[in-house]
Every structure is written in structure tokens, then in C-alpha cells.
Structure 1
């Protein structure tokens, strides 16, 4: 195999780079990963957007090595930012903010301690009732109709409402946060405007909590002993929403999709042999909600295998491709060695909360509509384009409509 020594280099011609934003990748990313692995091995030259080169990590062991070596593979994107234009559609998604995700060393420890403390004090026992109470009015709107789009009518509004409550964000501010986050993830020309909307809304939330503190993640961030300033609090909140909306939405939808098409779950969601937790783990292996993420920027030119990684250029972990490496033989039921929550110093601190909210959201839905079915053939479902996420545009379903009197009562 020839040595593609200019992976990620801005002076490369990009002619041979595989676009992670194109129709071919969106339609069948697994096939794309196999083609790239066969052609380049563990590290492949890709484009995240037109004119934005990067190196994609396709091997599990290589990914773990990189993610456990922040000295050589820092997450700070600021040197890279200087090489891309201000109107680059990926800048809002990838540019530096004073948050744990974009820092290493002392600053990372400071931000992570504050963030973890805010998350750890969320009452996960009470979260069961929170999910049910917030899900019930959503389900009431469509349960008697016998059909719904679970993406827009259940999963997104539920995930959004649960996170808003944990963060202490009022609905009006939250709507602007959601719009800004959506633009940020879609990596379009409007992503910059979305970031302006997002930071404005979160700044307003911080001002509100300064005047009206509560038992919520925002107040705990503001009161943490590390004394984060306003911009730093906003940056941590941005990370909370970034990790708590898009990945969580995709995790739930991708799991429901699996349970609806896989015979091990019986076709009907309550008749299969595997549990919701089993399905969640399988999705985190095979169809992770953030398929390509955990970006690092080598501090200096670095040789891995036969590939030179240039300094300060994005090295993106393909979580989906790495998870498909032969980590285990045969059945992966109960195996959680996937990289969906990253590993190393930047492992997601909200893993227990993410699992619980996803499991509760799915189980509550199954209690109300156990005979749910896809409303269209599985191959007609559409996936949103983009280099980072694995996300359905919609999940239309049909089911026998129960009697109105059969609706459960909300928990008090």
C-alpha cells in the first residue's frame, strides 16, 4: 500500500478524498467505511465539507491510542481555525470555545469538574417520573390517531423537554436554543447564524439563573468552586445541549428503528427476546448516533502505521467504523466496549443519564403502543446528510389506536 503522506494537508489536491457529506455516504456509510478501509487501511483521507480535509480513523486500536494521548493529539482546534475561512460551514461546529470538549490539561480538568458536578447531581431516580410526565402529553396528541412520526412528534420534543428541565431552561429560551443547535449540526451556510442564536439564548439563560437560581445544572455550574465566568458557563451549557439533543435523539430513533426491523425483537416491539438495553448497546456499536466525532489536531507531524498526520489538521474518529472492527467474536449482547461515549480523558460524563433517558423513553412508548410498525418499507426511510451524525429525518409508524380511556394517567 502506498503511503498517503498528505492526509489532512491543506495543500493536498483533495482529488482522492472521500466526501462525508455526499449522497453516497449518507445512503450507505458502512459500505463507504469498508471501501476506505480496503483502500487506505487504518487512516483514510476524507472531506468533512467541500474544501475541509481531514483524516478519518477506521481502526479501533488506533482510535483508542489517539484518544488516550492528549499530549500528541490535543483537542484544541485554534491552530486549525486559522487555516479555514470565517464562512466555512463547519466552523460553528468545530471552532474553539472555553469548554471541556475543546481543552486539555489544567483547563480541561477545571471545566470537566464543573460539568461533571452539575451532571452528577441530577436525580436519576426522579428522572423516571420526569420522562413519563413529559412524554404523556406528547403521546396524547397522536395515540388515538393510529399513526405518528416518532422523530418530530415524540423523540425530539421529549429529549428537548427532559434536557431543558435538567438544565433549568424555560421553554421560550429553549426554543431558540433548539433552533440554534439544529443549524449548528446541519453544517450549512446558516450555521453561523444558528451559533449567534444559540449563544444569545444561553447568555440570557445565565442572566435569568443569576436572578432566579434553582436546583438545576445551570445554577450548579455558576456556583461551582472553580468560579467559571459567564462565557465559560455558556460554553459548558452549549456542550450539554450539543451532547444532550442531537446524539440522544439519534440514539433513541436508531434504537427504535433497529427494534422495528430486526426479527430478534419480534417485529413487534414487545415480542422479541432481547431487551431495550440490549438494543441500545447494539445501536451504540453498529449505528452510533454520532458516527464520526472526537476530533483531535496533532501537535506536530505524526507517523501512524504508514501515514503521516500533518500538524494541526483534523483527525476524526469514525466511531461507527472502529466499532465494526473485530473487538468481539459473535454475539455482542451486553458488550459496551464501543466508542460511542469516547474514551480517555474526554469520555462523556453523562453516560448513565443518557442510557436511562433513552431506555425510559422507549419503554414508555412500548407500554402505550406495543404493536407499533413502520408505516413505510425500511429502505424508504431517509437519513440526514452530514459528516458527523447518523440521523433519520423521520420515523413514521402505524399502530392500533387504543380507546381514549386506555391512556395512562400521569405520575403525580
Structure 2
């Protein structure tokens, strides 16, 4: 059995750091500093009246992510303690999929997803991304201005994932809107969860009746013999986990690139690969800031903190990224040190290569179409969406020389 240092910290009388406040989106460093001051594990609120332990130390995070003996991913004991209208339930509610399962069930669900995504050839995924970029540039290119969040990153993910899941482009706006509401964890979270759930249910019902050359059909026919309900929840997970964080990865990377003229010129000239910018975001501004949620199976001491059962234990990838960036700046941290944006242990992201391909190809293709993107605002004046889970821009306005996808000199 895994043992940890004796408890020095009992948070039962402590004031939690409120990650649901608007101030967290504006200045997360202040909140992460407050959490880190409590030790490797801090005490926070994900929503009013919804407390959680937050792990901000890398060693403690790795211990948590690898310990399925003391900790579970099943939220049902916690779920029974929170109101039905809690705004974080959309992101934390139990569903029979790989994210919220342990043991044999987890392996069955996870392996079905790995096998299914392995059928997507890189050249096919690349072609889908190129097509989506062309569609979007066709919409905003002639204007000479765009919001690279609302006009590019978010609809791009909806177009790419709808194509993988066998749905037409016309459905992309509905998917994007539902996931945005659910992810923020605010007043519209329940409505977003319901809209997204209805979207997936309709998709699986259609694929159950008539298969296609797409991910839901492959899952329905997988040797693991998942039921239609189980397939529904795997799709619910993969659409949500694929769309929102990848859109944020693209927009966060673009904002860092465009905020540094020298950096941008090295990318557009081909002297530096786009992958550098994407990896930099994963190291220092990870799009899924706080997640990897676990629950102690019984009360346990963990890295100096007393952890109660059935209370969320959240991994703060954002805090670790924040402190890593400070250490790089001060010269105390090697630039190539590994990050935890893909999580770690048995529940590490199973499709990271697909995500990297989508993000890098999208940015590279966009900057080929529009090589003179000029940010309207300096990076420090950009706004960030509220919510305890993500690091997500509200907008990224740019100007550029107007162009249409069919004019001479288009990327091949």
C-alpha cells in the first residue's frame, strides 16, 4: 500500500481559494500562489459551496495520478452530496466512460477508444484540418479582420470533430455553443450539458440505425461489444475532451505567437516549427488548467494534507505550468522539462498525437493563408473566459490583408 508523509494540514477550518471567481480568469497566478502557500495540496472551491483539494506540486500530482489503490475516478459518492443544479456537475458527473471508471471497466472503455482512434490515418486527419481551415478562411478572409477564437479555433474543432463523427458542417455551431456553456461551469452550465447530451444521443441513435465510416460506427462495432449507451458516453467524453481543450490550445498558441513579432516571423518564414509554440503552451499555459479529478476511497494523508473521502482532489496543471514558467524565466528550471498537460498514469490522454496534429496543422495552415496576421490588442489586454477548469481566451481579434481561398497563390 502506498504511504505518504504524515498529515500536517487539515483544511476543515480553512477559507478556500475560490476558483469560480471572475478574478481567477483575469489573474490565475494570484490564486495559484495562494494555493501553493498551503503546501503541495491546497484547499479551494470549484463553485460556491463545492470544496476541493487542489494539487499544485508536480511530485504530488504524479503520485496521485498513479495511485489507483488509494484514489478512485468514480465521482458518485461525492455527487450524492452536491445539489442537482451545481454548475460543475456537467464536467464532473459520473458517466460510464473511461474518464470516470476504474479497473476492468476503465481498461475496456479506454482500449476501445485507443483502437478506434488508431484507425484514423494521419494523412486523413491532416486533410480534414486543411479542409476546415479553407472553409473558415473562406468565411472571414475577405473581411480582412477576424476573431481567431470565435471565427477560427472553436468552429475549426467543431468542423473537424463533426467530420470524424459523421455529421455535416451545418451541425458545428450547435456543438460549439453547447460545449462552451458546459465548460465555463456558470449559470448556463446545466443548459449546455443538456444540449450537448441531446446532440450525442441523436448522433448515436442515427448511427445505431445506419453505420458509416466514422468513429461512432467503429465504436458500435468494436470487439469490446459496448452497448449503445456505453458508446454514447464514450462519444460524449471524446467530443468534449477533443473539442474544447484543443480549441483553447490553438487560440492560446496563436496569442503567444502573435504577441511576439520576432517569434511570429520565424514561424512564417519556416525557420521555426509551429510545434515549438504548441509545446510552449502545453508547458506554460495549458488549456485544461484544473482537472484530473480523483476521490479518496477512504480518509488518507497525502503529501502533508488530510484528505477526506468523497471530496474532489483536483490536479492543477495550470499551477504547475505557471510555476514552471517562472522557474524558466529565473533560470532555475530546464526548458525541456516534461509537462503534465496530457496527465499521467493509467488515465493519461490516449490520443495526444491526434491533438498535436490538429493544433499544429491548423496554425500552420492559417498562417500560410494569412501570413500578415496583426493582433488588434496587446496580449496583456486580452480577456479570459471564467470557469475553474480551463484557460480559454474570450477573443483574439486580428487584422490582415483580405484574401479569398480561390485567389492565386493559395496553399496547395
Number of aligned positions between the proteins:
402
Equivalent residue number for residue 28 of structure 1? 27
Pairwise CA distance, 1:172: 5.2
Distance 2:332 2:143 in 1: 41
Measured after TM superposition, the shift of residue 410 of structure 1 is: 8.1
Distance, in Å, in 1 between the alignment partners of 2:188 and 2:275 is 37
Q: Identify the residue that residue 9 of structure 1 maps to in structure 2.
A: none
1:184-195 → structure 2 map (5 Å cutoff): 184-195=182-193
* Equivalent residue in structure 2 for 1:83, among 81, 84, 88: 81
User: 1:45 aligned to 2:46?
Assistant: no
- The Cα of 1:202 is off from its aligned counterpart by 1.3
Unaligned runs of 5+ in 2: 1-6
Could you say which residue in structure 1 is the equivalent of 2:311? 313
Which residue in the other structure is 2:3 paired with?
none
CA-to-aligned-CA distance 1:190-222 (integer Å, 9 cap, x gap): 322322222222121112112221111100110
Do structure 1's residue 4 and structure 2's residue 13 form an aligned pair? Answer: no
What is the distance in 1 between the residues matched to 2:133 and 2:370? 13
| Contact 2:155 2:172 (C-alpha < 8 Å) held by counterparts | no
* Aligned pairs (5 A) from 1:120-269: 120-171=118-169, 174-262=172-260, 265-266=263-264, 269=267
Q: Assess if the C-alpha contact under 8 Å between 1:288 and 1:390 holds in 2.
A: yes
2-side partners of 1:197 and 1:238: how far apart? Answer: 11
Secondary structure class of the residue paired with 1:86: coil
Distance 1:178 1:400, change over 3 A: closer
1:169 to partner: Cα distance: 2.4
- Once residues 140 and 172 of structure 1 are traced to their aligned partners in structure 2, the CA distance between those partners, rounded to angstroms, is 15
Secondary structure at 1:220 match in 2: helix
Give the aligned CA root-mean-square deviation in angstroms: 2.3
Residue 369 to residue 173, structure 1, CA distance change in 2 (3 Å): closer
Q: Distance in 2 between matches of 1:370 and 1:166?
A: 28
- Cα offset, 1:399, TM superposition: 1.8
Long gaps (5+) in structure 1:
7-11
Mapped partners of 2:54, 2:34: distance in 1: 13
Instruction: Say if 1:274 and 1:321 are closer, same or farther in 2 by CA, change over 3 A.
Output: farther
CA offset at residue 35 of structure 1? 3.2
CA distance in 1, matches of 2:70, 2:333: 35
* Structure 2 Cα separation of the partners of residues 60 and 126 of structure 1: 36
> Do the aligned residues in 2 keep the contact of 1:59 with 1:325 (CA within 8 Å)?
no
**Higher mean C-alpha displacement, 210-219 vs 256-265:** 256-265
